[in-house]
Amino acid sequence: MNKVNISEKLAMFGDYYNPRIVGELNGQHVKLAKLLGEFVWHKHDNEDELFYVLEGELKIEFRDKTVTIKKNEFLIVPHGIEHRPVAEKEVAIMLFEPATTLNTGDTKGELTRENLERI
């Protein structure tokens, strides 16, 4: 049982849309990521996603609306809902999602990360 210092973990990387695993519980991964720019439209058929903003402001676009999440706010995107994260400036987030969740969901491409680093 070791505590996790989020600031120290975030300082360990600088790339975007490449989540790192920082914890695991009950089949769930706790991940940290930095985002900048537009991600890909995608959905997760079987997994819900929780986006918790640690620093900055994140927009989650849906086909019919956009939800803005600010520091110390979170949004749960239910499984099956198509969405696209957009960060106009650098954003640091924490994700809670099942260990089986692929970051790009049903849309595989250059931003897909199948084997995540544990830090």
Contacts of 36 (CB under 8 A, 6+ apart): 16, 87, 89, 90, 91
Contacts of 33 (CB under 8 A, 6+ apart): 16, 17, 18, 19, 20, 92, 93, 95
Q: Considering the domain 6-98 in this protein, what is its CATH number?
A: 2.60.120.10
* pTM of the predicted model as reported, rounded to 2 decimal places: 0.90
Tokens at 26, concatenated: 């009950």
Q: What is the DSSP string of 89-106?
A: EEEEEEEEEETT--TTTT
- Spell out the per-residue pLDDT of the chain, length 119, in tens: 889 999 999 999 999 999 999 999 999 999 999 999 999 999 999 999 999 999 999 999 999 999 999 999 999 999 999 999 999 999 999 999 888 887 777 777 777 787 888 99
Query: Within the chain, where are the H helices?
Result: 6-10
CA-CA-CA-CA dihedral for 108, 112, 118, 119, to nearest 10: -160
Q: Mean pLDDT for the chain?
A: 93
